[in-house]
Structure 1
Amino acid sequence: MPTTPPETGRARRRKLMRVMRFCVTTLLIPCLVAMAGADTLVVCSAAKDKSLVVFRLNPLTGELTRLGSQLLTGEPGGLALSPDRRTLFVALRSTGELTSLRVEGNTGKLTPLRVVDGGADPAQISLDRAGKFLLTAYYVAGKVSVHRVEPNGSLSWLPTQELITAEKAHAVSLDRADELLVVPHTGPSRIFQFRFDRERGLLGALRVPSLDLPAGTGPRHAAWHPSRSIVYIDNEQANTVSAYRATQDGLEAIAGSTVSTLPAGFQGVNSTAEIKVHPRGRMLLVSNRGHDSLALVRIDETGEKLTPIGQHKTEAVPRSFTLDPSGQFVLAAGEGNGFLEVSRAMPRGADGSPESLQQLHRVRVGDGLWWVEAFIAPEMRPEVQPGAIMPQSMQAMNHQEEFKPSGWWKLLTTGLPFLGALLCLFGYRRRLRLARLMEDLPTSKAHGVFIGLVQVEGTAEAEEPLLTRMEQQSCVQHAWTVEEEWRRIITETTTDSKGNSVTSTRVESGWNSVDSGGGAIPFYVRDDSGLIRVQPTGATIEAAEIFSVICGTDSDLYFGLGPSSVVPFSTGRRRFIEKAIALHAAVTVVGQARVREDLAAPEIAEDADGPLFLITVKTEKQVLSAYRWGRIGLLLLGSILVSAAIFGWHLLDGKQLGEPGFNGWTFATGLAAFWCLAVVMWIWQVFNSMVELRNRTDRAWSLIDIELKRRADLIPGLVACVQALSVHERGVQEMIARLRAQASASAAGGVAGLSAGLVALREAYPGLMANQANAALMDELKNTEDRIAMAREYFNDQVVWHNIRIQQIPDGLMAWLAGLRLRGPFIASDLDRAEVRVKLHEI
């Protein structure tokens, strides 16, 4: 008869360790929990009832006692608990919202905190280990979001980040180090993965952004090993579970780790749902919907090898299940019948029997049982009654040393607003100077532009125009920008005078330029008198907006006209803006005119000493209106900054509003000083502009002298040239007439005798151009008279504005101080110049 070989020492030690683990997990831990007085709470999502149902779990027997329920605004789905167990987060799948509730001690009472918008159908939520950020996967919206958790447990109104992934995003799961986030997607059978910044709550790209699995796999939920960098993912469509190893580049499939969750020979319809790893890390469970069971899978010591153990029949359609904190109870939620089953997790027996589940209790919860969560109830915080003596440790904790700012700190914090107010005054003076400059400067004709500061109006023309990048429109100048929207949540915690923490949240958003470009070419300004060339280099250009589109990542423009990279905190929206001066568009140009380098003609170009070089599609009236409102805005802004500086100085000095020296008169005095400086700026600039106006008027008169002198010098010389041509041409015509007469009177042989004279005549003048010379002389006479007329008109326009300034209030006072006197317009009868007489008929 065969005998059983005696056990070795090593085998006996293994059996002893298994017995000790059994005693610890099934007896010692529950007893300690019971002795500590900490209850285990169980919260269930009853989706159809739109409520959360709370139970108390007996740590010894596994019995459930209903404590109450909390009605919500939508159908609750996924649940997540903060590390301190004081806040419960809920995904409302029917409304696409996220909410948080405060958990009150052993009573299990849930108090709603805040409901925020998330996205279509939030399938699962998860917190980082510090409880600072809530991550959400959206089944319908196909995205992942990150919300900041405020100190009181409320969620930030807006997400710190949203990333579009793909349809049917089903879970979000962080590794033990909060560095790697995996997001299984059942629809495309793909696992997205991101690098997680646990300090800022931002998701970053990995070298391998996703793992593509065979069609029909359907990865759904993920659970990490408690002590190894291994994650287990159940495959909803394939009814299997697989293990993946975490690396620097993301997940790496472990060969041969995939096992089935169904018993051999099962032919029915099934899909997996939830997956959990036992706290000891030696067993995982997967729920089967269809077979209505929990599959038990053994994990070896390395965490890489999975061995199916069997299936435990449970409630109908077990969509969700969880383990209590001790790991001795498994609570399975039946979506199909609304029952919650409690089973005891039996470890591997000392006799080698496999791990198993033993059903203990089942209770009716409600319709649509979607989720279940079990946790130890949070401890009650001590409350200090009025009049009670606070312990010294709490006094030290709440004691805050009063902040007493130094003189330098006060000077810095209040000096910056004063400096800003001073800059506003200088900005006001500059806009006032430019406005008066344009008002005092008459508009010149393109053909009559004189050297110096000029202003012309007309249309923009070019022989070879540019094409805009976005609109493909002909232009002489264009500039385009691509901006990307960003948005982030800033949470600040301060302490008030009573030592209480005050948390405030603000949303920062804006648009950052991610790409830009453009170009400009020399062009011409055409008016009814002619053309003048403009060199736009160095000019302040105010173009018209011809293209403005805001689009998302689903638009071809997003990456077609923009860069491939995105900015931090991007919302996935870009704005494309293009401004241009279109061909034939009306423009106003103010700048210095100079002589062109290629020919004797004027052009408007940059001058380092010039006061203004402006090219704009606005009219003069529109430009002046912008300057006026700019001045008003700067004065108002400066007043606000002065008030803020005064207010801050006295607050830092410990004074309260209304005390002596800190009242309405304090602000009135500061604002009066600011406006007095503004008046000084106005007097300064207006006086200088009056001096410039007087000099400009004198220059306008001198331009008439210049044109008259030009006529006096140019016309006699031109007339003399035309007269000489006419005399020569008349002599040629007379000789031809004589030769014709001789030829008609002579015989045939006599004509040959005239050949020498004809040859001499041809050599003397090969072409007769008296007619062209006369026409050119007439054109020059007309051009000269036109230039004189435009100079007179320019002078008269200057004189009109000169006299208006003198007669207006308060400009008249500044004009008197600057020595301006009324001047009369140009009168032709008073011009004392020698007449230039052109008498070609006397030649």
Structure 2
Amino acid sequence: MSKTFAFVGNLNRNALPGEGKGISVFQFDGETGDLTLASEYLAIDNPGYLAIDEKRKRLYAAVEVPAWNENLTAAFDINPATGALSYINMQSTLGNTTCHLGFDQSGELLLASNYTVAELGARPGNAIAALAIRADGGLEPAFAAAIHEGPNAILPTEKRQHGHCAVVSPDNRTVFVCDLGLDRIMAYRLPKKGENLALAATPFTQLPDGAGPRHMTFHPNGKIAYVINELNSTVSVLHYNPETAELTIAQTLPTLPEGFTGTNTCAEIAVSADGRFLYGSNRGHNSIVSYAIATSGEIALIGWTPSQGIGPRNFAIDPSGKFMLVANQKGGGIAIFKRDIGTGALEDTGKRVALGTPMRMVFGTFN
């Protein structure tokens, strides 16, 4: 019988409002939505972002410590029976404040994004790094990296880089890097092991000044992408041209209700597996915003669901699509919602899991 586990990364070093305990592993009940603590991995600093290779039973965690010039990513084996993690190795991400990890479509390459809060010009200072994954799941040293600011930038600019995510296109041709500081989505040709990161034919997509593109995801059809803009609280719909790597903005909608005047920053974005619904998180309004996706890829607002906590940094839809779990970083822990597969609507179950600083959650189902 298969088992589903939820892996949660928590801040455990100089974290407010409360410290977590590294990586928490929960067994997930797909009928009730309940989480039962199965194990914890404590020997890691601030695993703020997790990425899972479900097929190969491996987990990767970003070590995010802003005080260090150089952060790290760690590789683990997953015990499919218990969910327990077994450490493999760790490598540098060649930059500061590593906040996102992503795979290429083959699962043989890991891309690390660095938000960079170190001093300007601090070395190594890369916004993105590419690491090859060994046959045993361990990581090789980064073989390619790129800086987005200053004289050493791949496209020089005096603006402050803040790489926030790297997403590989579904055709495995292009690496898109959302740089929140430059208001750009950079585009690189997907490198092979040993190659440098080279700009694509269309090297970047420019978002409006102050938008702050944070996270990006593709529609299952591979032709449409969605980006959530952290600073101006919007979601943009983009059409993807695989030949040029061009992303053309087709639509932009707010993530906030009209009349909201409080401070807000956006965080996570996700498309349902059936491609019918899009969700984003608001930190300040403390909500999940829901949209319906048309066959054209354009979106229409459905509404807002309170996150039942403060600062919903991340959320994840379970493998069945019947639940959404929301990680409230600043208070409230994990809130569990029922999800109507037909309408996309979310309903609070009232169930909570107390965690100090949940940052990122991923599911894995194993036989």
Q: Which residue of 1 aligns with 2:135?
A: 151
Q: Which residue of 2 aligns with 1:47?
A: 11
Q: In the aligned structure 2, how far is the partner of 1:260 from the partner of 1:85? A: 38
- Equivalent position SS for 2:259: coil
Give 1:188's match in structure 2, choosing from 182, 189, 198. Answer: 182
Q: Which runs of structure 1 show a deviation greater than 4 angstroms over 4 or more consecutive aligned residues?
A: 198-202
Mapping for residues 92-241 of structure 1, pairs under 5 Å: 92-94=63-65, 96-118=71-93, 119-140=95-116, 141-156=125-140, 158-166=141-149, 167-197=161-191, 203-241=197-235
Q: In the aligned structure 2, how far is the partner of 1:228 from the partner of 1:162? A: 26
- Equivalent position SS for 1:176: coil
Q: Is the 8 A contact 2:321 2:341 kept in 1?
A: no
Unaligned runs of 5+ in 2: 13-19, 117-124, 150-160
Q: Is the 8 A contact 1:196 1:202 kept in 2?
A: no
Amino acid at match of 1:290: G
Amino acid at match of 2:5: L
- Equivalent position SS for 2:190: strand
Q: Is the 8 A contact 1:320 1:332 kept in 2?
A: yes
Amino acid at match of 2:135: P
Q: In the aligned structure 2, how far is the partner of 1:83 from the partner of 1:178? A: 19
Mapping for residues 421-436 of structure 1, pairs under 5 Å: none
Amino acid at match of 1:341: A
Sequence identity, in percent? Answer: 27
Q: In the aligned structure 2, how far is the partner of 1:64 from the partner of 1:273? A: 23
Shift of 1:164: 1.3
Q: Which residue of 1 aligns with 2:302?
A: 309
Greater helix content: 1
Shift of 1:290: 0.4
* 2:335 aligned with 1:341: yes
Q: In the aligned structure 2, how far is the partner of 1:220 from the partner of 1:142? A: 17
Q: In the aligned structure 2, how far is the partner of 1:294 from the partner of 1:192? A: 27
Q: Which residue of 2 aligns with 1:62?
A: 33
Q: In the aligned structure 2, how far is the partner of 1:338 from the partner of 1:301? A: 36
Q: Is the 8 A contact 2:163 2:180 kept in 1?
A: yes
Give 2:2's match in structure 1, choosing from 38, 41, 45. Answer: 38
Q: Which residue of 2 aligns with 1:359?
A: 348
* 2:248 aligned with 1:253: yes
Mapping for residues 16-31 of structure 1, pairs under 5 Å: none
Which fold has the larger relative contact order, with Cα–Cα distance below 8 Å and residues 6 or more apart in sequence?
A: 2
Q: Is the 8 A contact 2:143 2:193 kept in 1?
A: no
Amino acid at match of 2:292: R
Give 2:292's match in structure 1, choosing from 298, 303, 314. Answer: 298
Q: RMSD of the alignment, in Å? A: 1.7
Shift of 1:191: 1.1
Cα 1:73/1:66, change in 2 over 3 Å: closer
Q: In the aligned structure 1, how far is the partner of 2:55 from the partner of 2:128? A: 25
Mapping for residues 666-705 of structure 1, pairs under 5 Å: none
Q: Is the 8 A contact 1:320 1:333 kept in 2?
A: yes
**1:727-786 Cα shifts (integer Å, max 9, x gaps):** xxxxxxxxxxxxxxxxxxxxxxxxxxxxxxxxxxxxxxxxxxxxxxxxxxxxxxxxxxxx
- Equivalent position SS for 2:81: helix
Amino acid at match of 2:81: N
Shift of 1:365: 4.0
Amino acid at match of 2:31: L
Amino acid at match of 1:100: A
Q: Which residue of 2 aligns with 1:544?
A: none
* 2:260 aligned with 1:286: no
Shift of 1:229: 1.5
Q: In the aligned structure 2, how far is the partner of 1:40 from the partner of 1:202? A: 38
Q: Which residue of 1 aligns with 2:364?
A: 375
Shift of 1:362: 3.1
Q: Is the 8 A contact 2:23 2:42 kept in 1?
A: yes
Cα 1:115/1:228, change in 2 over 3 Å: closer
Q: Which residue of 2 aligns with 1:82?
A: 53
Shift of 1:343: 1.1
Unaligned runs of 5+ in 1: 1-36, 349-353, 380-843
Q: Under a length normalisation based on structure 1, what TM-score does the superposition of the two structures give?
A: 0.39
Q: Which residue of 1 aligns with 2:153?
A: none
Q: In the aligned structure 1, how far is the partner of 2:192 from the partner of 2:237? A: 25
Q: Is the 8 A contact 2:334 2:355 kept in 1?
A: no
Mapping for residues 563-602 of structure 1, pairs under 5 Å: none
- Equivalent position SS for 1:206: strand
Q: Which residue of 2 aligns with 1:553?
A: none
Shift of 1:216: 1.2
Greater strand content: 2
Q: In the aligned structure 2, how far is the partner of 1:280 from the partner of 1:199? A: 33
Give 2:259's match in structure 1, choosing from 265, 269, 287. Answer: 265
Q: In the aligned structure 2, how far is the partner of 1:177 from the partner of 1:72? A: 37
Shift of 1:99: 0.3
- Tell me which structure has the larger Cα radius of gyration: 1
Q: Is the 8 A contact 1:102 1:110 kept in 2?
A: yes
